[in-house]
Amino acid sequence: MEKDINLRHLRVLDVLFAERSLTAAANILDTSQPVLSKILARLRVDFDDPLFVRVGQSMEPTARALELAEPIRRILTASASLDRRPALFDPMTSRRLFSFFISDVGALRLAPPLMERLQHEGPHLGVRMVSLDRRQLLPRLESGDVDLAIGAFPELVSGIRRRKLFVEGYRGLVRREHPFAKATPDEAAYRAARHVLVMARDTGHAHGEVEGRLEAILPADRIALRVSGFVAAAMAVKRTDMIATMPANLAAYLAEEFDLAEIDVPLAMPQFDIALAWHERFHRDPAARWMRRLLFDILGRRKRRPRAY
Residue-by-residue DSSP string for 75-137: HHHHHHHHHSPPPPP-TTT--PEEEEEE-HHHHHHHHHHHHHHHHHH-TT-EEEEE---GGGH
Between vectors from CA 289 to CA 148 and to CA 304, what angle results, nearest 5°? 65
Count the residues in the chain.
309
Q: What percent of the chain has pLDDT over 70?
A: 91
Answer whether residue 148 shows pLDDT above 60: yes
- The per-residue pLDDT for 226 is 95
Cα separation, 69 vs 239, whole angstroms: 81
Whole-number average pLDDT of the chain: 87
Three-state DSSP state, 263: strand
CA of residue 134 relative to chain centroid, distance: 16
- The per-residue pLDDT for 260 is 97
What 8-state DSSP symbol labels residue 200?
-
Q: Dump pLDDT digits (tens) for 185-207.
A: 999 999 999 999 998 765 556 77
Q: Is 102 exposed, middle or buried (0-12, 13-18, 19+ CB in 10 A)?
A: buried
The mean per-residue pLDDT over the stretch 41-70 comes to: 90
Q: Dump pLDDT digits (tens) for 250-288.
A: 899 899 999 999 999 999 998 888 899 999 999 989 999
Dihedral through CA 106, CA 108, CA 114, CA 119, nearest 10?
A: 160
What 8-state DSSP symbol labels residue 151?
E
Q: Dump pLDDT digits (tens) for 176-189.
A: 999 999 998 999 99
Q: What percent of the chain has pLDDT over 90?
A: 50
What are the start and end residues of each CATH 3.40.190.10 domain in the chain? Answer: 97-166+273-299, 170-263
Cα separation, 26 vs 228, whole angstroms: 75
Q: What amino acid is encoded at 244 in this protein?
A: A
What are the start and end residues of each CATH 1.10.10.10 domain in the chain? Answer: 7-83
* C-alpha gyration radius of the chain: 32
- The per-residue pLDDT for 1 is 39
Answer whether residue 131 shows pLDDT above 80: no
Q: Dump pLDDT digits (tens) for 17-33.
A: 888 988 888 888 888 88
Number of H helices, E strands in the chain: 12, 12
Question: What is the band of 303 on the pLDDT scale with cuts at 50, 70, 90?
Answer: very low
Lowest mean pLDDT among 50-54, 74-78, 232-236, 303-307: 303-307
Cα separation, 167 vs 215, whole angstroms: 23
Q: Is 177 exposed, middle or buried (0-12, 13-18, 19+ CB in 10 A)?
A: exposed
CATH number of the structural domain 170-263: 3.40.190.10
User: Looking at domain 97-166+273-299, what is its CATH homologous superfamily?
Assistant: Periplasmic binding protein-like II (3.40.190.10)
7-83 placed in CATH 1.10.10.10: yes
CA distances from 308 to 106, 171, 268, 269, 271 (A): 23, 11, 8, 8, 10
Query: CB neighbours of 3 closer than 8 A, spacing ≥ 6?
Result: 46
- The per-residue pLDDT for 197 is 95
Query: CB neighbours of 73 closer than 8 A, spacing ≥ 6?
Result: 14
pTM of structure: 0.63
- The per-residue pLDDT for 28 is 84
- The per-residue pLDDT for 90 is 94
Nearest to 299 by CA among 208, 206, 167, 198: 167
CA distances from 97 to 30, 91, 145, 151, 290 (A): 45, 11, 10, 20, 13
Cα separation, 178 vs 183, whole angstroms: 9
The mean per-residue pLDDT over the stretch 124-139 comes to: 84
